[in-house]
Amino acid sequence: MPILTLTTDIGQQDYLAGAIKGQFVQAHPGCNIVDISHYLSPYNYLQAAYICTNAFKHFPQGTFHFIIVNMFDAPGGTMLLAMHDHQYIACPDNGILTMITGTRPRQLVALPLPDGSKGLLDYTKTVAAAFGRLHTGEQLESLGTAPATINEKYPLRSTFGADWIEGQIIFIDNFENVVVNITREDFESQRKGRRFKIVFTREVIETLSDNYSSVNEGELLAWFNSSGFLEIAMRGGKMAGLFGLQGFSEKQHAGTAFQNKWFYQTVRIFFE
């Protein structure tokens, strides 16, 4: 039974999510549809990539992942279909593909859209048809044409100095815990056994916890979560709201307003 995952920014208040599922069921009545999220933040590629990357790795080979985020952000409305790590990824050609994969996949096609395609369901119907054809034995390369170029965006990396590392807030979860793009590997590589201070706004954390139960109610904690990224939180409290922390936005612009927001979108670790 083929598996299809859906990750979108369209919400579930109207008929669209259900209509898209109907298109895939028509293309392959035996498919198993899994919702990852329908509440991606508009224009937040970092958030989408974090969610998709960490969800996809738990699915079996051959899974078909369909991502709808900022569908009409890029001109042309091209839909891409790629094979990466033995899984299929379909998405708009707006940079989200390389944000998820970290590279341009070798097996990649642009799906042909019927003349007159305008609305979301015209585009999703094309992807559903490709899904059905894949699972009746067609090869990926027969479903479209290899694009000469695609829009490429890549995840932000933390920055380093001799005695510090700085990361951006890439995700804030439903409990307002804050995830930063500093990995355990990068942390240990820079730390070199030294003491450290995790600094955000005017707060400081000087120890790492194993999980949320490591501290008392109302205390701050930092730990490396199951995705391997630094997470800072307050046990029983809403970390982001209490300290004014915000997810990094690619739509920010230079200037004073940006500099003020940057202060609330970054976390720095000092080593001594």
Backbone angles phi, psi at 21, to 5 degrees: -60, -40
- Name the residue range of residue 42's domain: 3-142
The CATH number of the domain where 126 resides is what? 3.40.50.10790
Residue 135 CA, distance from chain mean position: 26
Backbone angles phi, psi at 232, to 5 degrees: -115, 145
pTM of the model: 0.89
The CATH number of the domain where 165 resides is what? 2.40.30.90
Q: Which of 79, 52, 65 has its CA nearest to residue 24?
A: 65
Q: Specify the pLDDT at position 253.
A: 43
Q: What is the DSSP string of 95-136?
A: SHHHHHHSS--SEEEEEPPPTT--SHHHHHHHHHHHHHHHTT
- Residues 12, 90, single domain; the answer is yes
Where is the domain boundary, 93, 117, 142? 142
Q: Does residue 46 sit within a domain?
A: yes
- Residues 192, 253, single domain; the answer is yes
- Residues 81, 135, single domain; the answer is yes
- CA–CA separation, 262 vs 193, rounded Å? 29
- Residues 60, 189, single domain; the answer is no
Q: Does residue 153 sit within a domain?
A: no
Q: Does residue 152 sit within a domain?
A: no
b/e 229-253 (16+ beta carbons within 10 angstroms → b): bbbbbbbebebbeebebbbbbeeee
What sign has the CA pseudo-torsion 45, 36, 68, 103?
A: positive
- Residues 189, 64, single domain; the answer is no
Q: Specify the pLDDT at position 257.
A: 46
CB atoms within 10 A of CB 255: 8
Tokens of 193: 């056994």
Q: Which positions ≥6 away from 166 have C-beta within 8 Å? A: 158, 159, 160, 266, 267, 268, 269
Q: Does residue 23 sit within a domain?
A: yes
Q: Does residue 150 sit within a domain?
A: no
Q: Does residue 176 sit within a domain?
A: yes
Q: Which of 84, 100, 231, 165 has its CA nearest to residue 92?
A: 100
Return the DSSP state at 164. Answer: E
Q: Does residue 151 sit within a domain?
A: no
- Residues 12, 138, single domain; the answer is yes
- Residues 178, 72, single domain; the answer is no
The DSSP bridge partners found for residue 197 are 270
Backbone angles phi, psi at 167, to 5 degrees: -130, 165
Q: Specify the pLDDT at position 205.
A: 97
- Residues 174, 261, single domain; the answer is yes
- Residues 40, 132, single domain; the answer is yes
- Residues 229, 127, single domain; the answer is no
Q: How many domains is the chain built from?
A: 2
Where is the domain boundary, 142, 173, 193? 142
- Judge contact between 202 and 267, C-beta under 8 A: no
pLDDT in tens, the chain (272 residues): 899 999 999 999 999 999 999 999 999 999 999 999 999 987 889 999 999 999 999 999 999 999 999 988 766 678 999 999 999 999 999 999 999 999 999 999 999 887 777 789 999 999 999 999 999 999 999 999 999 999 999 988 899 999 999 999 999 999 999 999 999 999 999 999 999 999 998 899 999 999 999 999 999 999 999 999 999 999 999 999 999 998 876 555 444 444 555 568 899 999 99
- Residues 163, 82, single domain; the answer is no
Q: Specify the pLDDT at position 115.
A: 76
- Residues 172, 226, single domain; the answer is yes
